[in-house]
Amino acid sequence: MMPHYSQTYTPNNRTQCTSDHVEYTGIKSLDPNLELKYNKSYIGLSKDGQPYNSVTFRPKKNFLTFEPKLPKSEELDKLIEEAGLDTLEYNKRWGFYRLRLTAGDIGSKAAVLRRLIKDAYERRTSL
């Protein structure tokens, strides 16, 4: 059974990234109807039982690939670079950033991650 979202949850300083770390990103603060949907190879979002993947997470043993669906822009590139996030290749075909997060990144760079999640959510709701 997966843990429920909690405002006070903070991941410990383990070296492994787990799906528990996804809970800490604050997705529920954007929309209380959003739920994490655990699929075989990724964690997505659902709203009212329907897929609502403005961001996806791909947990691995030692890191988590974070994929906000946002168009590539110099402003976001600068924000990501200044935050010191490990960037992977931008997916031009499907239009999303790919960022490699460690357990420490999720806690220490939470403000930047929340901004990216918020921007992706707002872009998705405006479509």
Residue, of 97 and 38, whose pLDDT is higher: 97
The pTM for the full model equals 0.80
Residue 25: is its pLDDT beyond 90? Answer: no
**CA torsion sign, 59 to 61 to 64 to 65?**
negative
Q: Which domains does the chain show, CATH number per domain?
A: 19-126 (3.90.1150.200)
Between helices 110-126 and 74-83, what is the axis angle to 10°?
160
- Tell me if 34 sits within 8 A of 27, measured CB to CB: yes
Would you state the pLDDT for residue 11?
45
Tokens of 9: 């949850």
Would you state the pLDDT for residue 5?
40
Cβ burial 33-55 (10 Å sphere, 16+ → b, else e) = ebbbbeeeeebbbebeeeebbbb
Q: Which residue has the tokens 């043993």?
A: 61
Tokens of 78: 């600068």
Would you state the pLDDT for residue 20?
61
Q: Kindly report, residue by residue over 71-94, the tens digit of the pLDDT.
A: 999 999 999 999 999 999 999 999
User: Average pLDDT, stretch 39-63?
Assistant: 91
